[in-house]
Chain A
Amino acid sequence: MRRPAASTPPADPSANPPRRCRDWLLSDAPASRVQAALGYAYRRWTRFASNPLSMFGLAILVLLVIAAALGPLFAPHDPLQQVLPDRLLPPGSPSHWLGTDQLGRDILSRLIYGSRLTLSIAVLVVVVVVPIGLLIGTTAGFFGGWVDVFLMRITDVALAFPKIVLALAFAAALGPGVINAVIAISITAWPAYARLARAETLRYVHADFIHAARLQGASRMRLLLRYIVPLCASSVIVRATLDMAGIVLTVAGLGFLGLGAQPPSPEWGFMVASGRNVLLDAWWVATVPGIAILLVSLAFNLLGDGLRDVFDPRHGD
């Protein structure tokens, strides 16, 4: 599970019957900070789990992670092996459940291996973009004054750029490839996080507990890293999850244009593109990977909506 603290009870009380474990978690008078934190996480988890759509999104993503991690164990065939006599077999063929492409490669196996590319690019973009956005946004909000004006001017300028077109131009200049796709997408993705982090920072920067910490002698660095950044985390996580949906689509779009992972690697967008030539005769070659992209993007959207309802009830409706 993605949130082990919430989904699995702690080791100690799990020896008790489940009923008591739940009571312990929901106790009104927690005896320790750990219990309070776990109880809080448990309440959030039940709130999240009560929405079937969010759970559906989570389930798809868990499947995706399993497919990416344990792909070789599941995949029925070598994703790159070309078996020309088995070209363009329709879905439902024995031993090729989702059919084969023009070169006789098994589409299901290619999808499973391709999930690694999709997942790793999406995760890499977030790993690159979130710290940059947090750094710029919290710094601007925390220090204010001309630092704020300067950083936010840059952010606003970058925010007004057309994302897909710039990513295309960057990918074209850097040359095709996975790492370059990550860079191209990251360059256009960070400003949203900077804005968000700044807004969150401004909500807290004049709060009493920040003043209290400052009076206790906390350095600016400590205030930023230990107080402000953790408070921004929940909204940034929600935002990043929702963003992943868009990133998956952009990655697929770059792949579709041949600017992402290079053949013969089984990138989903590129698989759709290669199905274009045989669309009328063998619809599944393009259709099946497209459904995979749709499902994963949908899953990130559903998960993000669910997380937002849990972490940020202000936006829920």
Chain B
Amino acid sequence: MTPDATTPGAPPPAPDARHAAARRVRVVLLVLRWLLTLALTLAGLLLVTFVIGRKVPIDPVLAVVGDRASASAYAAARAQLGLDRPLALQFLLYARDVLHGNLGMSLLTSNPVIDDIRRVFPATLELATLSTLIGVLVGVPLGVVAAARHNRWIDHVARFVGLIGNSVPVFWLGMMGLLLFYAKLHWVSGPGRIDPLFDGMVDARTGSLLIDSLIAREWEVFFNALSHIALPAAILGYYSVAYLSRMTRSFMLDQLNHEYITTARAKGVPERRVIWVHAFGNIAVPLLTVIALSYSYLLEGSVLTEIVFAWPGIGSYLTGALLNADMNAVLGSTLVIGATFIALNLLTDALYRVLDPRVR
């Protein structure tokens, strides 16, 4: 780590330096351990998708040669697909392909799966990001206020929101939203990402229609896209609000029971400052990790939401592939969603360790 400290002939390092060196070693070990966990988990995911791929009731060879092929043609096709090799070797080859970004061809679109996903994933990210934003802007203050006014009406509202958020099927809530806000009240635009009229009017730079249209200063496009994304983002964001307000509330309740809060109140700190500076400052780190976690849940939760709103993201792509037995596309989407989910989860864990001095 510190070459001069260990070079023979150099004066013996001061205790401080030795201490720092030991700490650096520990940090490096932690990072290595974290990377190992990440690699192991991703390998586990790969193994699962590999097993699913082998378990499909449809014989992939028959799909290539047809069911009237001769035995020799069948064997040749089987060998060409690599299915005659030992399973372990097949898995390694599969892992190599995936690591090279080769997820196979989609039967449905006859494009490489990776290209399809690259095309649809930004729409999902845009939806999940906006939903998380709603969740943070509404859920966190709601949780803080609920904890500050424990067992008062606002607290009951927060608990009700959290409870329903745990119990309501997202696809149904989406349909009810469409029924009310689109069909009856005409507050928002219907399914889809944008009206066909505006489709392709702005250059795709970031993949987010909202940001792209802002950059291009196409206000009509921007507001049209906004009216399309508002409802699905609100529905998905509701789950984020439910989760974040519940977690924030319980973190805050925990903090408010501490003695330093009593001390602060006793010495006359205004209540607002006690809540928002003293207590809230101490939950910032766990809150940040919870927000990251909620983002990964939303990525997953977007699958069912996207179907209801015909949102052209990875969820729609995945389910379209599911219903058409397009296994390459199914497994590719599962891998991409899964890898993002895992990476976010573990990043959250790392973030917690880096930011919280007690864990560090």
Contact = CB atoms under 8 A, between A and B. Distances in A.
B247 interface: no
Contacts of A286: 172, 175
B144 to A, nearest CB: 15
Interface stretch (B63-71, B77-85, B176-184, B196-204): B176-184
A166 B175 contact: no
A166 B48 contact: yes
Nearest to A184: B52
Nearest to B173: A290
Contacts of B337: 162, 165
B157 to A, nearest CB: 15
Contact of A280 (B40, B179, B308): B179
A287 B342 CA distance: 35
B318 interface: yes
Contacts, number: 137
A279 interface: yes
B163 interface: yes
Given A175-B57, A256-B171, A280-B183, A160 B41 contact: yes
Interface string B337-348: 110011001100
A257 B300 contact: no
A169 interface: yes
A224 interface: no
A259 B322 contact: yes
Contacts of A259: 322
A253 B166 CA distance: 14
Interface stretch (B7-15, B91-99, B326-334): B326-334
B166 A160 contact: no
B129 interface: no
B175 to A, nearest CB: 5
A162 B55 contact: no
A253 B300 contact: no
Interface string B34-57: 000100110011001100110111
Interface string B179-209: 1000100000000000000000000000000
A273 to B, nearest CB: 8
Contact of A272 (B52, B53, B172, B330): B172
Contacts of B334: 165-166, 168-169
A157 B41 contact: yes
B22 interface: no
A160 B346 contact: yes
Contact of B169 (A172, A294, A301): A294
Given A160-B346, A169-B330, A276-B175, A298 B167 contact: yes
Nearest to A154: B44
A293 B169 contact: yes
Contacts of A301: 163, 166-167
Main secondary structure of the interface of B (DSSP, over half): helix
A161 interface: yes
Contact of B319 (A257, A283, A298, A317): A257
B304 interface: yes
B345 A272 contact: no
Nearest to A163: B300
Interface in A139-166: 153-154, 156-158, 160-166
In this complex, which of A154, A298, A317 has the most chain B Cβ atoms within 10 angstroms of its Cβ?
Answer: A317
A269 interface: yes
B172 A169 contact: no
Contact of A297 (B166, B325, B331): B166
A111 to B, nearest CB: 14
Contacts of A283: 179
B253 to A, nearest CB: 6
A258 B175 CA distance: 17
A174 interface: yes
B50 to A, nearest CB: 11
Contact of A166 (B55, B167, B323, B338): B338
A156 B41 contact: yes
Interface in A190-244: none
Given A157-B41, A257-B319, A272-B175, A162 B341 contact: yes
Given A252-B169, A290-B175, A297-B169, 5 more contacts: A165-B334, A175-B57, A252-B171, A273-B171, A297-B167
Interface of A: 153-154, 156-158, 160-166, 168-170, 172-175, 245-246, 249, 252-253, 256-259, 269, 272-273, 275-276, 279-280, 283, 286-287, 290, 293-294, 297-298, 301-302, 317
Interface of B: 37, 40-41, 44-45, 48-49, 52-53, 55-57, 163-164, 166-172, 175-176, 178-179, 183, 250, 253, 296, 299-301, 303-304, 307-308, 318-319, 322-323, 325, 327, 330-331, 333-334, 337-338, 341-342, 345-346
23 contacts: A156-B41, A158-B44, A160-B345, A161-B338, A162-B299, A162-B300, A162-B337, A169-B49, A173-B55, A245-B167, A253-B170, A253-B304, A256-B171, A256-B307, A272-B169, A275-B175, A286-B172, A287-B176, A290-B169, A293-B172, A301-B163, A301-B166, A317-B253
